[in-house]
Each structure stands twice: as C-alpha cells, then as structure tokens.
Amino acid sequence: MLKVIGFDLDGTLTQHRTPLPPASRELLDRLRRRYRVLIVGAGNCPRILRQIENYPIDVIGNYGMQYCRYDPEAGLHRQVFDLQIPPDRESVTARISRLRREHGYTEYAGDGVEFHSSGCVTFPLLGTKADIRDKLAFDPDRKKRLAFYAEVCALFPEFTVFVGGSSSFDLAPLPYNKYYALDRLCQDEGYRHDEILYVGDDYGHGGNDEAVYVSDIPFRPVSDYTRVTSFLLDLL
Ligand SMILES: [Mg+2]
C-alpha cells in the first residue's frame, strides 16, 4: 500500500546544513528501488539541493511553496513551482520589535529580522550575525522559546510559527507547512494520505514536522539521524 516516503532532511537524514552521510545515501538508494522518495524541507530548494549534492530525488522546499522534480533523462532537477507570498514587512518588523521589548531581546547582533524571498520570515532572537557558539548554547531544550511560543503564534495569525534552528522562530505564510505540502502532493499526483509515510525528527510542540505528526498521514519518528536506517528496516 505504501507508495511514497517523504523525508525531513536536517536531524533525520543528516546533521543541520551538512551533506548526506554515506549511510543515508545508501538508505535512499535502497528505498528508491521500491518507493517514490522525496525530501520535504523547511529550507528553499536550491539550498537543499546544494546540501544533498543534487542527490537524484524530488525536493519540496519552503514548507510546500517550492517543488523541484528530478528529471532522470536530463540528469538534473527542474523547478515545478516557486511561490512567493510577500509579507507586510513594516507590520512584521513592528510586531517583532514589540516581542523583543516584552521579552528582553533588545540586544542582538546584525539584523533583528530576516525576510526571505518566499515570504517566509526568520525572527532570530540573538540576531542574524550572532556567534554560532552563542546560538547553540542559547536554548538547547527550547524552553526559552516555548515560554512565549503561544504569544508569537497569536501575534502572527497570517503565518505558521515554528520553533526553528537553535535560537529563532521561523514563520511560514499560511497555509504552508509540511502537512499542507504532502496533502498537495496527494491532490496533484493522485496519492491517498495512507499511501504516504513521512519520516522526521522535529515533531514536538512547535517543531517543523509537528503538522504531519498530528495528522492522518503516517509518521515515522527518527531520534538519531546516524541510525536512521534502523528506524526503517521494515521497509527495506
Ligand atoms: Mg528536522
């Protein structure tokens, strides 16, 4: 019954912003013989394709706003769609300033908000130029961000808000999230939800895989990308 396996990338197949390790490549190679396999990512397609070194599978990027299909005859990826939903920058900036004042994040390095061409927005609590060590040490258990996550969601009703990366909130314009991306794939390409399996690591509250985890699409959690194959042995 299973036809499609969708994978999260960071934390599921590899480390954040790191190429696919050999074990993950081998897993994908084996699964591709039996199923349609694709990546459903939070980042944009060009970034994901660079990270996976153009590994020959389809890639959905920006929570479903972008889609690149691999053309096996040409040996390259082709963009199917690339949606952009520009936000009200002034209003977004004002709301982020308000959150910074209310929660004591008025000091930051670089910019206090990052607008992406897709319409996604990053709210980096420590700023865009913060030191990577400071970012990693900031909120490893996410408690600092979860403390006011509900408030951020309420203040940005036109977005889905994710507790993203190490020290930021990531905002994707509604209705885009990974569940929406997979549902659209089903509608466009004729799959049922129960013919899909999604594999991800970030399914906790505010995580970018949560929308799939709480949905009717079957979900396989991965708690350690270095052992990703061990979570999928029944499919090989
Ligand atoms: Mg992940």
Would the CA dihedral through 141, 147, 150, 152 be positive or negative? negative
Residues 163-218 have pLDDT tens digits of 988 999 999 999 999 999 999 999 999 999 999 999 999 999 999 999 999 999 99
CA of 13 to the centre of ligand 1 (A): 8
Q: How far apart are CA 19 and CA 13, in angstroms?
A: 9
Ligand 1: centre distance to CA 74 (Å): 30
Give the Å distance between the CA of 33 and the centre of ligand 1: 24
Map out the domains of the chain with their CATH numbers: 4-83+176-235 (3.40.50.1000), 89-173 (3.30.1240.20)
Per residue in 115-174, pLDDT tens? 999 999 999 999 999 999 999 999 999 999 999 999 999 999 999 999 988 999 999 999
Residue 53 region by backbone torsions, left for phi larger than 0, else alpha for psi between -120 and 50, else beta: left
**Rounded to the nearest whole angstrom, what is the distance from the C-alpha of residue 98 to the centroid of ligand 1?**
29
Q: Where are the beta strands (DSSP E) in the chain?
A: 4-7, 36-40, 58-61, 66-71, 76-82, 114-115, 121-124, 159-164, 168-173, 196-200, 219-221
Where are any strands of DSSP class E within 41-173? 58-61, 66-71, 76-82, 114-115, 121-124, 159-164, 168-173
Phi, psi of 77 (to 5 degrees): -90, 140
